[in-house]
Chains A and B, each alone.
Chain A
Amino acid sequence: MGVSLKWTRVVRAQPRSRFQMGLRSMSPAQRREARWGLIFISPWLIGFTLFYLMPMIASLIFSTYDFKLSAPEDARFVGLDNWNRMLFHDSNVWEGLRITFTFGTVSLLIGMTSAFLLAVLLNSKHLLARNVFRTLFYAPTMVPLIAAIVIWSRVLNPQTGWLNKIIESFGINAVGVDGLRWLDDPNLVYFAYTFIGLWGIGNAVLINLAGLQGVPTELYEAAEIDGAGWGRRLWKITIPMVSPIIFYNLILNVLGLLQYFIVPWVLNQGNGYPEGSTRFYMVYFYKQAFTFQNMGYGAALAWMLFIVALIITMFLFTTGRSWVYYSSEER
């Protein structure tokens, strides 16, 4: 292949490259293998360069321009003005982050706890028709998100929705104007959104379930002999043993929640209702980048989100070392 040969020649110009040292010690068969490997992964290499690497750099460059897509010829270099505005002069940015974090915390706690406890229930050896239950509990995850939002928004209706009627049947005043106005009350709306999210925990439940099935039963037997009850076994054996899976779910959830957008968009077109409590960061980003077509400022907002995501991920990986338990060293 001409292309890869040219590449090796370029690399040879740099004497201490690992790539070259690797190549020199290679036999012709190994070289052939390397060439085939690179051919096979080339779709990803091309896709990565075109749709990840270049746009990321372009995005960083965009963020130093005042650039409206409707008038690209008026684009001008403004240095760090966008960053300055974003970090110090735009209260929407911090408001958006605060709202995203507040909702994220509520949703994360309820969502992850539910997913874990549901997996424990579905793993119970006392549960009859386990497989039927597993399938049925997963089914709502298959409901398309928009359909789920549409249905939930009406189930949560204070007058006609079934949720309030069910709560009312327990003797709590829920129905009506002075009842639980899930989507209209800024104190309740994050819970309402979390409920909608609970219809998407199926994957987390399945992964948890697989983790629970991997816990060696000898551990439970030993604990039982020592007289440990159900709660103690859960806390001392189950949770540490599946902590890598909880950690994996945590990372994916946090990254998803930082980009929370669709639910507020479908329910109120991002107008922040009620009382601005749903002005999530991504909603603000969408408005700047696509409604107002502010490509420069939008790019800065996107990079900021990436930096926040990176900081949180790094923080989680650092703290994770102290509570995530890996039974084998290879991990």
Chain B
Amino acid sequence: MAKRSGIEKPLSSYQAARKRRNLLIQMGITLFALVVLSIYTMPLGYGVMTSLKTKDQASDPQGPVIPSEALQYEYEGEKYDVVYVPTDDGVQKWALIKPTRRVSQFIDINNPEAGIIEWEGNWRALEPVFETSFQWGNYKEAWETIEFLKLLKNTFIYAFVTMIGTLVASALVAYGFARFKFPFRNALFMVMISTIILPPAVTLVPTYAFFVKVLNWGGSWLPLIVPQMFGNAYNVFLLRQYFMTIPRELDDAAKIDGAGPMRTFISVILPQAVPALTAVSLFHFFFAWNDFFGPLIYLAGSRDLRPITVGLTEFNGLYRTEPQLILAAATISMILPLTIFFIAQRVFIQGIVITGVDK
């Protein structure tokens, strides 16, 4: 191996072989990961590609992979299909002007001045020329048909209101569990954690009956929003773990300055816990964005209140024959979550790891 700097010692042949072998392993593993990744994310590519096709191509088994359109050529005010024609000079792209059974007339699209060319052979055997063409109009059509702006507004309000609610409540509860001694603290904490195991179905039937019949909240967002104003086990757990890492000296300093527990919470704990609070907000936001069961049962029949999940499901059922529109709508619905994820991935991933590993 060549010497790159004066300090670096020349490698022995053993070291060189080892380095080569390592490089080979690196290439192999990285290549393997690439193959797995492309298979894993293939449906995304499929979804985006198909959403940009025409309806015919989207449902054509022989359709091209890349969205495209049969190439046409305008000649003397008329449009003609362009086909591949085998000639003595190789395959040419000619516009088919007048097809007849034995001799057809063509125009060479690269040399239209040459005028009509006659070609002997069966024109039906000729392959049409495709050129890449993205049907961006599908997105506009999907956006309008599904009334996406309304769905987005509903989903966003729901996600945002419950995010604030659960964040405030979970942080208060987590602070209580992290910093104060009170009777049965550990038992209560265990009860809270064990609610994770409880299938929501168990509480659903009476809750539903109560909200719909007693409070008459059916067809409104209230039964979905109100129960989320009291904090949930996952969020409290994550925040509590984080609060416990904040040094108690900070609390004590605030106490000496005369701050009560609430003041300490707001001016000491919360500013220290921004990453955990962000993680909880993000988790909740994505949860709400995906929430399906609640809106399905409480908003049945209230079309104007539907969130994206329910709207997209209905759209999928009604427009079975328009795959390109359905996939365009699906793509629209994932843009915001994916964007937020790519921007905030660090905080987000840390949050998952804390909840998962610390338990």
Question: What is the interface of chain A, defined by CB distance below 8 A to chain B?
Answer: 18-19, 22-23, 30, 33-41, 43-48, 50-52, 54-56, 58-59, 62, 69, 72, 118, 121-122, 124, 126-129, 133-140, 142-148, 150-152, 154-155, 159-163, 166, 175-176, 198-199, 203, 206-207, 210-211, 214, 245, 248, 251, 255, 258-259, 261-262, 265-266, 269, 282, 285, 289-290, 295, 298-299, 301-303, 305-306, 309-310, 313
CA gap between A36 and B181 in the complex, in Å: 9
Question: What is the interface of chain B, defined by CB distance below 8 A to chain A?
Answer: 22, 25-26, 29-30, 32-33, 36-37, 39-47, 50, 58-61, 63, 169, 172-173, 175-177, 179-185, 188, 191-192, 195-210, 212-213, 227, 229-231, 236, 261, 265, 286, 289-290, 292-293, 296-297, 300, 308-309, 312-313, 316-317, 323, 326-327, 329-331, 333-334, 337-338, 341-342, 345, 349, 352-353, 356-357, 359
Q: Which residues on A sit within 8 Å (CB–CB) of B47? A: 151, 154-155
User: Chain B's nearest CB lies how many Å from the CB of A105?
Assistant: 19
Which chain B residue lies CB-closest to A128? B30
Q: Is the interface of B mostly helix, strand, loop or mixed?
A: helix
Which chain B residue lies CB-closest to A129? B30
CA gap between A203 and B341 in the complex, in Å: 13
Which chain B residue lies CB-closest to A35? B182
Task: Specify which of A145, A258, A266, A299 is in contact with B290 (CB 8 Å cutoff).
Answer: A145
Q: Which residues on A sit within 8 Å (CB–CB) of B22? A: 126
B206 lies within 8 A of A55 (CB): yes
CA gap between A58 and B211 in the complex, in Å: 13
A160 lies within 8 A of B203 (CB): no
A154 lies within 8 A of B323 (CB): yes
Q: Which residues on B sit within 8 Å (CB–CB) of A50? A: 227, 230
Task: Specify which of A34, A251, A266, A302 is in contact with B183 (CB 8 Å cutoff).
Answer: A34
A302 lies within 8 A of B199 (CB): yes
A33 lies within 8 A of B182 (CB): yes
User: Chain B's nearest CB lies how many Å from the CB of A265?
Assistant: 8
CA gap between A140 and B60 in the complex, in Å: 26
Q: Which of B58, B180, B182 has the most CB of A within 10 A?
A: B182
A302 and B349 in contact, given A37-B180, A38-B182 (Cβ under 8 angstroms): no
A285 lies within 8 A of B201 (CB): yes
Q: Which residues on A sit within 8 Å (CB–CB) of B32? A: 121
18 A-B pairs with C-beta separation under 8 A: A33-B180, A34-B182, A37-B177, A37-B180, A41-B188, A43-B169, A43-B230, A58-B206, A135-B345, A139-B342, A146-B292, A150-B326, A151-B330, A154-B327, A160-B58, A160-B323, A203-B352, A206-B356
